[in-house]
Chains A and B, each alone.
Chain A
Amino acid sequence: DSGVTQTPKHLITATGQRVTLRCSPRSGDLSVYWYQQSLDQGLQFLIQYYNGEERAKGNILERFSAQQFPDLHSELNLSSLELGDSALYFCASSIPRDNEQFFGPGTRLTVL
Chain B
Amino acid sequence: GQNIDQPTEMTATEGAIVQINCTYQTSGFNGLFWYQQHAGEAPTFLSYNVLDGLEEKGRFSSFLSRSKGYSYLLLKELQMKDSASYLCAVWDNYGQNFVFGPGTRLSVLP
Contact = CB atoms under 8 A, between A and B. Distances in A.
B43 A45 contact: no
Interface in B28-45: 31, 33, 41-45
Interface residues of A, number: 20
A66 to B, nearest CB: 15
A102 B100 contact: no
A30 B32 CA distance: 21
B13 interface: no
A102 B45 contact: yes
B99 A103 contact: no
Given A43-B100, A58-B97, A103 B31 contact: no
Interface of B: 31, 33, 41-45, 48, 87, 89, 96-103
7 contacts: A43-B43, A45-B98, A56-B96, A59-B97, A99-B31, A101-B45, A103-B43
